Amino acid sequence: MLRSLYIQNYALIEKLDISFETGFSVITGETGAGKSIILGAIGLLLGQRADVKAIRQGASKCIIEARFDISAYNMRPFFEENELEYDTECILRREVQSSGKSRAFINDTPASLVQVKELGEQLIDVHSQHQNLLLNKEGFQLNVLDILAHNDVALEEYYSLYNEWRQIEHELSELVTLAEQSRADEDYIRFQLEQLEEAHLSEGEQEELEQEAETLSHAEDIKAGLYRVEQVFASDEGGLLSYLKDSLNTLNNLQKVYQPAGELAQRVESTYIELKDISQEVSSQGESVEFNPARLDEVNDRLNLIYSLQQKHRVQTVEELITLTNEYRNRLSTITSYDERIAELTIRKEAQFKKVKKQAEVLTKARATAAREVEKQLAARLIPLGMPNVRFQVEMGLKKEPGMQGEDTVNFLFSANKNGMLQSISSVASGGEIARVMLSIKAMIAGAVKLPTIVFDEIDTGVSGEIADRMADMMQEMGDSNRQVISITHLPQIAARGRAHYKVYKKDSDTETNSHIRRLTNEERVEEIAHMLSGATLTEAALSNAKSLLTRN
């Protein structure tokens, strides 16, 4: 439960540091004194969106910090799951800088807003006046039933099944759309693939063909040049090889009388052999080169096909055309497999939908049982709150398409009069009646959820007198059940019932206005409640009345 609250540089609050009691406490103050500012600071602390406009003028940042006693609420699992230090005291802190940056801490460890919100939902529930509007919202009504039915595990199982079903449904929808788009392109892809496959392309082919085309185009020049080279080597008259042969014979003869000639003869012989081999290869290549117009036409036709395919598909090489061929082949294979994949996903979707429906039925049965309990408890709680003829019914309507909360439709029907027709609660209940219904619902929920701290922001709007007494009874009862209840009120009957009484007030200086909060002494409580009874002017009757209220309570 909330032990203390520290606020610095938030709106009209320069610095505020207040401790809170267990059980039932009250906060009073004039309209505009700053009660909503304190609630706004608590909301910021619990993860609401930060607004730099809330920072006190002239300050660089605002700080909100709260200390909670969590020793009795088994919250260790949350801290272990989020790798946070656990202690019986939990400190939440939020800092917002004028630059817009925001930081949050749990027990002095930096934390995300998601973590802060999750923890905050387990620590404190702030019921503001606008929450009364939730009473006619189906989502809120289903939440009430789920809380009282203890549907946590069943809901978690349902969420898992439902999300998986929606995921399969999404995949199927995307696949059907993709299949439709691809089928529109199928003829085009098939035509391109057939054209590329008919070309029978192979890697390195283009370079080989381009070289062969060069050779065929210059066959006569190549053949004439090789012939001239051959004649230089092997001509019968003045050929290089015949001269080398004569020189070799001469050196062989000289070595008999001149020993160094033998080494020279060996070298000339080696050269002769190499040049003779070259001469024979030149002759052979010259014979193999021939002018073949038919083959040149074939090569050029093949190259023209390759060039036209490259230009058409905007690539530079045969290898890229081969890669494109494989891509078209894969795309066509994918298109032809769509029907099979769609059929498979459809079967999975239908099977998952059956699981969702089955689990939704589990929720329906639990909610139907909880609905009867809600009707019974609410009637028991509302009769003492000045509604002796109240009738309350939870109407379970026609099933709808499964959604995040199942497939149930629910409507809270209400009548405060004997002859009144049961109608949707928001259309027939007055503001005061709605406030009483919401308080009763909160009391039921609090018993099921075991929230450490509940803050009611003027939930007594529209009621007075004895009804206010009965509402105070209910909040006091909630506060006596190992729970902290804080009520912001304008009613003296409720203010007199608090174990502790805090007052919010504004104080002006020469340059600014500040909001403050402090706990009232017994004497100050008498005066505050007397003012609530009689207004600005204190009368003896009002003081006597205030003392009577406090003494009685």
Instruction: Indicate the angle between helix axes 152-199 and 318-382, nearest 10 degrees.
Output: 160
Residues contacting residue 213 through CB under 8 Å, at least 6 positions apart = 296, 299, 300, 303
Q: Does residue 351 lie in a domain region?
A: no
Residue 518 to residue 503: CA distance in whole angstroms: 6
Question: Which residues are CB-contacts of 57 (< 8 A; sequence separation ≥ 6)?
Answer: none
**375 is a domain residue:** no
Which residues make beta-bridge pairs with 85? Answer: none
Range of the domain at 294: 182-335
Q: Is residue 278 part of a domain?
A: yes
The number of folded domains in the chain is: 1
| Kind plus residue range of the DSSP H or E element containing 111 | strand 109-111
Residue-level pLDDT at 172: 94
Instruction: Please report, for residues 236, 330, 478, the alpha-carbon distance to residue 458 in angstroms, rounded to integers and kept in the order given.
Output: 128, 68, 16
> Nearest Cα to 264, choosing from 254, 277, 276?
254
pLDDT attached to residue 136: 66
* Residue 78: φ, ψ to 5°: -60, -45
Answer whether residue 473 is part of any domain: no
- Residue 18 DSSP class: E
User: Can you name the residues that pair with 64 across neighbouring β-strands?
Assistant: 7, 94
Whether 241 is in a domain gets the answer yes
- Three-state SS annotation for 372-432: HHHHHHHHHHHHHHCCCCCEEEEEECCCCCCECCECCCEEEEEECCCCCCCEEHHHHCCHH
Q: β-strands 453-457, 484-488: how paired?
A: parallel
SS3 label, residue 297: helix
Q: Is 156:404 a contact under the CB 8 Å cutoff?
A: no
Q: Does residue 208 sit within a domain?
A: yes
According to the model, what pLDDT value does residue 406 have? 92
DSSP state for residue 55 in the 8-state scheme:
B
Q: Are 118 and 145 in contact (CB under 8 A)?
A: no
pLDDT tens for each residue of the chain, 553 residues long: 899 999 999 998 999 999 998 899 999 998 888 888 898 899 899 888 888 888 988 899 999 999 999 888 888 888 988 888 888 899 999 999 988 899 999 999 999 999 999 898 888 888 876 666 667 677 888 988 998 898 989 999 999 999 999 999 999 999 998 888 777 787 888 888 889 999 999 999 999 999 888 888 888 888 889 888 888 888 877 788 888 888 888 988 898 888 888 899 999 999 989 999 998 998 888 888 888 888 889 989 999 999 999 999 999 999 999 999 999 888 887 777 788 889 999 999 999 999 999 999 999 999 999 999 999 988 888 888 888 888 889 999 888 999 999 999 998 888 888 887 888 887 777 777 888 888 888 888 876 776 788 898 888 777 777 888 888 888 888 888 778 999 999 899 999 999 999 999 998 888 888 899 999 999 999 999 999 888 777 888 888 998 988 887 6
Expressed in percent and rounded to 5, the helix, strand and coil fractions of the chain are 60, 15, 25
Torsion of CA 358, 359, 365, 371, to 10 degrees: -140
Contact 382, 417 (CB under 8 A): no
Please, which residues bridge with residue 18 across strands?
Answer: 5
pLDDT score at 133: 60
List, edge to edge, every strand of the sheet that includes 410-415.
391-396, 410-415, 423-424
Give the pairing type, strands 500-508 and 23-28.
parallel
Residue 191 lies in a domain: yes
Q: Does residue 143 belong to any structural domain of this protein?
A: no
Q: Residue 130: its pLDDT value, please?
A: 61
Q: Extract the tokens encoding 317.
A: 């090489």
| pLDDT for the residue numbered 131 | 63
d(CA 491, CA 210): 101
| DSSP-derived pairing of the beta strands 13-19 and 23-28 | unpaired
